[in-house]
Chains A and B, each alone.
Chain A
Amino acid sequence: MNRHLLLAVALLLIAGTASAAGIPGDADGNGVLDQPEYTAAVLAYLVGEGDLTRTDIQDAAWVLARWDGRPLEITDSSGQTLTLSRPLRRVVTFTGESLETLRSLGFAMEKVVAVDKYSHEKSTFFPECGGKANVGSIWSPDMERVLTLRPDAVFLYATISTAACDEIQQKLDASSPGIRVLRFDCFKPATYPGEIRTIAAATGCEDRGDEFARFYTSVMDGIRAGTADVPDDEKTRVYFEYWADYKTFASGSGYNEKLEIAGGYNPFAGESAEYPEIDPEAVIVSNPEVVVKLTGQKLAAGGYVGHDVAALEATQSAILERPGWTRLAAVADDRVYVIHSDILGGAQHFIGTAYLAKWFYPERFADLDPNAVHQRYLTEFQGLDFNLASEGAFVYP
């Protein structure tokens, strides 16, 4: 990128980023907007005096009504504390998970001015994003475009791809310190409920955030409660295979966390690599009771595009034909499943975890209907007109 151009854009925009300034209408500059200050600002605006714009007054009203006239301090998942003096009006998301979470919270999507290239391409799941600016990926960000869009907030990952995200944040901090960089993962069961509430507070979507957090927590806590009393030596033994054949995951990975919440025992959890490649013979020796194969991304089959259940079925068939696998308990008992990463790897991980629980313990979770959870999520929280009975393919069988 042309460094001089980037510098020029940055210099032009430094003064223009609103969120860095204090609360509009805070006449005495003490960092708190009280009622008399607000009223004076409103009256001056109404008669055309003063220099506050309509947006300034709307922001002042927001701060007074929602934050009691004080700046909002939030701590994101990277541990950094940020101060917001105004509501977020121009948001750039570099992660599909935070974008999806914003939509779950009912955040006005027109305030998202740009998205990462992957979300930009997901025209079925993010139909409203096709017309938004594309800022590339965290590994290849279009910083010039980001700055030109004059965002007041940029969302990045907190604990994965940290080097790439740190670099983006450093560039933003250096060129336009008014831009708030918010870092959340939005895919980890341990931190997602808190992230939902923090993002909801930052965006003024507290009520909806509370509703969504309760929905999410009811599913995940129900799964945890359903497997809490399973002794370790009675846990369902699971071989979970990544997109690549014989590649699995060990403890510490996000997928393993979900497997364990669902009450599964991963015989390869102790491997030193986070995503180790396993000797085929070792899989046979471990004799899993359940096999789960992941599709999506590097194994394109299923997902939100189309209704290609046959592709998932073919994936399962290929697994069943592996040499020596007829001896596996999972194969003998028809417990070989295929799941798409869309519902296990990102913000929808609770849906996939519900499927895992159901597969691992069908009797304990007889009343759990992961498909109904999925449909409710799409309809009620994502606002999508998407019928799982005739669209998409996420699990098989």
Chain B
Amino acid sequence: MMRSAANRLFCLALLLMVVPVAACGTPVIRSLSTAEPGAGEVFTVSLAVEGMTLGGVVETLPDGYTFAGTDHPDDRVLVRGQRVAFAVTNETSITYSVQAPASGSGDIIGTWEDFIAESHGEIPPSRVAVDGIDVPGAGDPSPADARAGSPCTALIAVAGLLLVAYRGGRR
């Protein structure tokens, strides 16, 4: 009984610590029509953009995945290799298409910049794997990218450590 109450308290504490951390997040949220496209399938990536008057987004596709078009105006898109740059002018959403390779997996990673608010950050990575077959290490961000974790990741880590320390102290 006591253990159950303690667990509930632990969950509540975790929730209270995570919610504010999540709320400090990115103004750009990515969603995929599927994270497990078939070989050669074209799937859709949607970016929900919040409160960005003038800004930019750069998406980097995993190796083998190719940009296949967007609803964003042509003159506000620039493709360079695996990178796709979007100039944002008050848009609240950007949708683009990606063609999956015959096989392979990896993360779609992205960065955003709000030029008016003078802030920038990373969009959390989205894992994609052809037919759901995830090849460990394939298409993952480079070590340099991995090092550059977002502030929220660090906050979550600190929150977790504090919680563990607190629970340890209670025992």
Chain B CB within 8 A of A54 CB: yes
- Known A-B contacts A46-B56, A46-B58, A65-B53; the reply to A39 vs B118 at CB < 8 A is no
- CB interface residues, A 36-66, toward B, < 8 Å: 36, 38-39, 42-47, 49, 54, 57-58, 60-62, 64-65
Closest Cβ of chain B: how far from A248's Cβ, in Å?
A: 50
Stretch at the interface among B32-40, B79-87, B93-101: B79-87
Residue on A nearest B118 in the bound complex, by CB = A58
Is B75 among interface residues, defined by CB-CB distance under 8 A?
yes
- Asked if B167 is an interface residue, CB under 8 A from chain A, the answer is no
Show the binding face of A for B, using Cβ within 8 Å.
35-36, 38-39, 42-47, 49, 54, 57-58, 60-62, 64-65
Interface size class for chain B? 20 to 34
Give chain B interface residues in 13-29, CB to chain A under 8 Å: none
Residues from chain B with a CB closer than 8 A to the CB of A58 are 115-116, 118
A49 to B78, CA, bound (A): 11
The 6 lowest CB-CB distance pairs between A and B, nearest first, are A61-B115, A46-B85, A43-B78, A61-B54, A42-B87, A47-B80
Residue B76 interfacial (CB < 8 Å) = yes
A42 to B56, Cβ gap below 8 A?
A: yes
CB-based nearest A residue for B56: A46
Cross-chain contact of B116 among A44, A45, A46, A61 (Cβ < 8 A) = A61
Q: Is A47 within 8 A of B83, CB to CB?
A: yes
Q: Residue B122 at the A interface, CB < 8 A?
A: no
Minimal Cβ-Cβ distance residue in B for A60:
B115
B67 to chain A, nearest CB (A): 13
Which residues of chain B have C-beta atoms less than 8 A from A35's C-beta? 89
- Is the pair B116, A47 in contact by a Cβ cutoff of 8 Å? no
Q: A43-B76, A47-B80 known; A64 and B87 CB under 8 Å?
A: no
Central interface residue in B53, B77, B113, B120, by most chain A CB within 10 Å: B113
Q: How many angstroms between the C-alpha atoms of A65 and B89 in the bound complex?
A: 10
Question: Can you list 14 residue pairs at the A/B interface with Cβ under 8 Å?
Answer: A39-B76, A42-B56, A43-B56, A43-B76, A44-B78, A46-B57, A46-B58, A46-B78, A47-B58, A47-B80, A54-B113, A65-B53, A65-B54, A65-B116
- What chain A residues lie within 8 Å of B78 (beta carbons)? 43-44, 46-47
Cβ contact within 8 Å between B75 and A62: no
Residue of A43, A44, A47, A57 near B115 (CB, 8 A) is A57
Question: Closest CB of chain A to B132's CB: distance in Å?
Answer: 31
Instruction: State whether B85 touches A43 (Cβ < 8 A).
Output: yes
Q: How far is the CA of A62 from the CA of B114 in the complex (A)?
A: 11
B residues in contact with A49, CB < 8 Å: 80
User: Pick the contact of B75 from A36, A44, A45, A60 — CB < 8 Å?
Assistant: A36
| Interface membership of chain B positions 34-69, coded 1 if the CB is closer than 8 angstroms to chain A and 0 otherwise | 000000000000000000011111100000000000
In the complex the two chains form, what is the Cα distance from A44 to B77 in whole Å? 10
Closest chain B CB from A263 CB (angstroms): 46
| In the complex, per-residue mask of B112-131: 1 if CB is within 8 Å of any chain A CB, else 0 | 01011010100000000000
CA distance A45 to B118 in the complex (A): 15
What A residues does B53 contact at CB under 8 A? 61, 65
